[in-house]
């Protein structure tokens, strides 16, 4: 009897010990992100960026002498699935931190799990202002991404510079992100340019396969310029259907898109069909041209290798920055205790390949701007690039 118990104990100990040793050694970060479905276009490179940051930090000896370990999960862009995985990552895999999530549905849902379990959660991509609104803010939630307020205000500030523009139209996907960003845009535009009239607003649904009717309806109102929030594959569809209808020509390419259609990912997909001359943003210009910082050059070189492609991705930086923020928080806190790291993250400034970012103590936001530029043809690459990427700090527009 005793023998058997000892044997069982030994066996259990033997089976558990590598796990236990593993658990003590690494700092574990759960990373739910859509890796399948239409939004995997973003989820896959963002996860790659996070993996790369983990590899970089581990190659440099880890954080406080401990290696990082990334637990990547497919959230399927579904809030319920992201929540289920966040719970499993915490309860079963004992992750120390959470990061990731793409959509404005996933991030607030995972944020409540982080609050429940008192675990730091760094939302990497979602833009909804709801995430850090006063009633939803808690000590463990932080955001690396920009938000719809910043996007709308920056777009309006750029639009306001065109003195001869008097009639503006908007087109954006019909869900929280599009509605919020366009709302912020019109609100700020009215403030800075009360003389401008909003003549038309189109709300195609997300994933709309045929924009023709929306485009012709908008052209009928004869706007001078357009603020657009259609992004990703939808923008490619809009561009390909709009060009032969004369949409971009009618507004003399005065279209400002806040949905990161300046990323190399989309520019590559569109190739020569890109509507040159429009203005858009990207978190990372990737093809930077003049004035590229050395650390960015090194980052992109590594990214190309990690992604095994020719031009990397403009989205990977979001995953990369999230992991860097966590590691800097751990270093400042001197350990992985979530309460201490959460405090350390407040007001923390950290270096990234695209410049310094600081987490606002009050709203837990990095309040990050993006790189904006006119999109032009470049003889060196077979796709549209940013003419001169300029980082626009949104602080002046948030007063």
Which parts of this chain interact with another protein (CB under 8 A)?
35-38, 40-41, 43-44, 174, 200-205, 207-210, 212-217, 219-220, 232-234, 236-237, 240-241, 244-246, 265-266, 268-273
Q: Shortest distance, CB of residue 367 to another protein, whole angstroms?
A: 29
Phi, psi of 62 (to 5 degrees): 80, -170
- Which of residues 117 and 268 has its CB atom nearest to another protein in the complex? 268
Q: Which residue number, 261 or 321, has a Cβ lying nearer to another protein?
A: 261
Question: How many other CB atoms sit within 10 Å of the CB of residue 88?
Answer: 15
Provide the minimum distance between the beta carbon of 47 and another protein in the complex, in angstroms, as a whole number. Answer: 11
The single-letter DSSP state of residue 221 is T
Please identify, using beta-carbon distances, which residue of 35 and 50 lies nearer to another protein: 35
Name the minimum Å distance from CB 221 to another protein: 9
Strands (E), the chain: 27-33, 68-74, 97-100, 121-123, 141-143, 167-171, 197-202, 225-228, 255-257, 279-282, 349-352, 355-358, 370-376, 385-386, 390-392
Least separation in angstroms between residue 144's CB and another protein is: 21
Cα 119 from Cα 130, distance rounded (Å): 19
Q: How far is the CB of 215 from another protein (least distance, A)?
A: 7
Angle made by CA atoms 320, 111, 29, in degrees to the nearest 5 = 40
Give the orientation angle of helix 316-333 with respect to helix 338-345, to 10 degrees. Answer: 110
In the complex, minimum distance from the CB of residue 119 to another protein, in angstroms, rounded to a whole number: 29
Which C-beta is closer to another protein: that of 44 or that of 323? 44
Angle, CA of 112, 117 and 120, to the nearest 5°: 75
- Of the two residues 204 and 285, which places its CB atom closer to another protein in the complex? 204
Q: What is the Cα–Cα distance from 83 to 61, expressed in whole angstroms?
A: 32
d(CA 318, CA 144): 7
Kindly state the helix (H) or strand (E) to which residue 158 belongs, with its residue range: helix 148-160
Q: Which is nearer to another protein, 269 or 392 (CB)?
A: 269
Phi/psi class of residue 64: alpha, beta or left (left: φ > 0; alpha: ψ in -120 to 50)?
Answer: left
Nearer to another protein, 32 or 329 (CB): 32
Name which of 301, 302, 265 is nearest 285 in CA terms. Answer: 265
The residue among 157 and 384 lying less far from another protein, judged by its C-beta, is 384
* SS3 at position 59: helix
Shortest approach of another protein to residue 42 CB, angstroms? 9
Q: How far is the CB of 199 from another protein (least distance, A)?
A: 11
CB of 237 or CB of 253, closer to another protein: 237
The rounded distance, in Å, linking the Cα atoms of 204 and 61 is: 49
d(CA 62, CA 228): 42
Cα–Cα distance for residue pair 361/345, rounded to 1 Å: 8
- CA dihedral (268, 274, 276, 282) positive or negative: negative
For the bound state, the minimum distance from the C-beta of residue 212 to another protein, rounded and expressed in Å, comes to 4
Smaller CB distance to another protein: residue 200 or 229? 200
Query: How many Cα atoms are found within 13 Å in the side-chain-facing hemisphere of 281?
Result: 25
- Three-class secondary structure of residue 259 per DSSP: coil
């Amino acid at each position: 009897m005793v023998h058997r118990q000892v044997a069982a104990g030994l066996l259990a100990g033997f089976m558990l010990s590598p796990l236990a040793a593993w658990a003590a050694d690494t700092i574990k970060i759960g990373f739910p992100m859509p890796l399948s479905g239409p939004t995997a276009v973003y989820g896959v490179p963002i996860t790659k960026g996070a993996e790369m940051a983990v590899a970089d930090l581990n190659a440099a000896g880890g954080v406080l002498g401990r290696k990082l370990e990334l637990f990547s999960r497919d959230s399927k862009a579904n809030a319920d699935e992201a929540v289920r995985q966040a719970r499993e990552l915490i309860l079963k895999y004992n992750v120390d931190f959470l990061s990731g999530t793409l959509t404005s549905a996933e991030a607030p849902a995972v944020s409540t799990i982080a609050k429940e379990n008192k675990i730091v959660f760094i939302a990497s991509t979602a833009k909804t202002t709801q995430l850090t609104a006063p009633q939803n803010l808690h000590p463990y939630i932080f955001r690396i991404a920009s938000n719809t307020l910043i996007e709308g205000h920056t777009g309006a500030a750029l639009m306001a510079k065109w003195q001869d523009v008097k009639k503006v139209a908007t087109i954006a996907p019909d869900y929280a992100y599009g509605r919020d960003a366009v709302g912020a845009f019109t609100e700020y535009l009215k403030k800075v340019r009360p003389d401008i009239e909003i003549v038309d607003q189109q709300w195609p649904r997300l994933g709309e396969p045929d924009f023709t009717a929306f485009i012709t309806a908008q052209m009928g109102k004869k706007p001078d310029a357009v603020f657009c929030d259609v992004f990703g594959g939808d923008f490619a569809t809009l561009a390909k259907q709009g060009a032969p209808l004369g949409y971009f020509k009618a507004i003399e390419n005065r279209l400002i898109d806040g949905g990161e259609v300046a990323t190399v990912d989309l520019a590559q997909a569109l190739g020569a069909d890109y509507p040159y001359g429009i203005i858009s943003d990207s978190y990372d210009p990737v093809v930077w041209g003049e004035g590229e910082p050395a650390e960015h050059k090194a980052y992109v070189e590594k990214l190309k290798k990690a992604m095994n492609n020719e031009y990397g991705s403009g989205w990977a930086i979001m995953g990369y920055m999230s992991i860097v923020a966590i590691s800097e928080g751990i270093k400042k806190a001197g350990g992985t205790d979530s309460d201490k790291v959460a405090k350390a993250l407040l007001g923390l400034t950290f270096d990234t390949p695209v410049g310094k970012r600081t987490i606002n103590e009050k709203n837990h936001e990095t309040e990050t701007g993006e790189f904006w530029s006119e999109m032009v043809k470049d003889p060196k690459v077979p796709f549209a690039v940013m003419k001169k990427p300029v980082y626009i700090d949104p602080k002046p527009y948030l007063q």
